[in-house]
């Protein structure tokens, strides 16, 4: 049975963008065992993919904060042992960074990655045994699929399948229907306002105005958060609205369940928006500071995009797009 190791450590959106490559690799190599190196925070989500035989968590983000602590060195040594416990038929680094290439170098097996002209950090290409050219202007999902296909010897198909099924979700408090053509399944919408990059944020006043519009149509809303600043913003948005609650913080598999149960999602360019696309939830992507053609949500569910790089959409743009997909 072939052993194949994928390296895609972060961020959340990048991890989700790699999932169709894994689904396709499994389809073309049904007898293979697939392992995946990923940041520990994203491991619960990766384990939801049915093709994953083993998840090897890495804590590089946490280790950076305590680089000289004995516990860090013990954990890092344990990670290296887990990585090297078997020899792989193919080690595929779809991250394309020096840090991920170094992980590939530690692993045992033939190492595949992007060539110097295709990669984000050209120095990383020096660590691979096989280097593959993949156009830089392709969407991230297409780049992951193309690199994986070239490493494993097949041609990518046309269907995008993230391999995720909707997790079971308990009915949340404060549900309610959209009315006016909303899906019968799921009684709440989700507003994903949080993003680590300030240039991707949509104004807080716009989120509140959007919430009022949606509540007037009968919607109940949920606002998740991931950082302290996002929690405060969620609280302010919810306080300004009548039928909006702040979600509890939970691991990514729990968040996946929350998103899977929603009637719709509206969100900025963030990893959770791509998770909604993977779960086929109707969504509107609000783009402000990034290019949707390169990193926008893709999937088999209803998707609408408003705005674009250096183009701030209005509330009416969002409500119009949402009405269209619902």
Q: What is the model's pLDDT at position 231?
A: 96
* Structural contact between residues 29 and 2, judged by C-beta atoms closer than 8 angstroms: yes
Residue 231 shares a structural domain with residue 314: yes
Residue 21 shares a structural domain with residue 126: yes
Instruction: Tally Cβ neighbours within 10 Å of residue 78.
Output: 10
Domain annotation covers residue 14: yes
Domain annotation covers residue 218: yes
Residue 28 shares a structural domain with residue 139: yes
Q: How far is CA 250 from CA 84, 227, 258, 263, in A?
A: 31, 12, 10, 20
Residue 20 shares a structural domain with residue 127: yes
* Residue finishing a domain among 128, 152, 176: 152
Domain annotation covers residue 165: no
Residue 148 shares a structural domain with residue 196: no
Q: What is the model's pLDDT at position 166?
A: 65
**What is the total count of domains within the chain?**
2
Q: What is the model's pLDDT at position 1?
A: 79
Rounded CA gap, 301 and 183, in Å? 12
Q: What is the model's pLDDT at position 185?
A: 41
Q: What is the model's pLDDT at position 295?
A: 87
Domain harbouring 109, CATH code:
3.40.50.2000
Identify the segments of the chain with pLDDT beneath 50: 168-186
Q: What is the model's pLDDT at position 43?
A: 96
Domain, as residue range, for 265: 189-325
Residue 94 shares a structural domain with residue 220: no
Domain annotation covers residue 180: no
């Amino acid at each position: 049975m072939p052993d194949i190791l994928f390296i895609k450590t972060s961020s959340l959106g990048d991890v989700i963008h790699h999932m169709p490559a894994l689904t396709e690799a499994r389809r073309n190599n049904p007898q293979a065992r697939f392992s995946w190196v990923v940041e520990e925070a994203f491991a619960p989500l990766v384990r939801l993919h049915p093709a994953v035989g083993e998840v090897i968590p890495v804590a590089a983000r946490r280790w950076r904060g305590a680089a000289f602590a004995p516990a860090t060195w013990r954990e890092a040594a344990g990670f290296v042992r887990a990585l090297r416990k078997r020899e792989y038929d193919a080690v595929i680094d779809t991250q394309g960074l020096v840090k991920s290439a170094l992980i590939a170098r530690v692993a045992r097996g033939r190492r595949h990655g992007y060539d110097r002209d295709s990669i984000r950090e050209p120095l990383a290409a020096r660590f691979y045994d096989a280097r593959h050219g993949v156009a830089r202007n392709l969407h991230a999902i297409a780049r992951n699929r193309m690199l994986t296909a070239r490493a494993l010897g097949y041609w990518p198909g046309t269907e995008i399948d993230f391999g995720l099924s909707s997790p079971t979700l308990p009915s949340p408090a404060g549900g309610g229907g959209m009315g006016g053509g909303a899906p019968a399944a799921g009684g709440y919408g989700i507003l994903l306002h949080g993003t680590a990059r300030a240039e991707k944020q949509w104004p807080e006043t716009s989120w509140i105005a959007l919430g009022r519009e949606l509540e007037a149509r009968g919607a109940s809303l949920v606002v998740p958060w991931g950082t302290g600043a996002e929690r405060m913003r969620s609280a302010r948005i919810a306080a300004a609205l009548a039928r909006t609650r702040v979600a509890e913080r939970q691991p990514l598999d729990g968040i996946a369940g929350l998103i899977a149960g929603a009637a719709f999602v509206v969100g900025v360019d963030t990893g959770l928006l791509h998770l909604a696309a993977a779960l086929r939830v109707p969504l509107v992507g609000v783009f402000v500071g990034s290019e949707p053609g390169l990193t926008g949500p893709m999937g088999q569910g209803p998707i609408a995009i408003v705005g674009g790089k250096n183009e701030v959409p209005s509330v009416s743009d969002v409500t119009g797009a949402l009405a269209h997909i619902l």
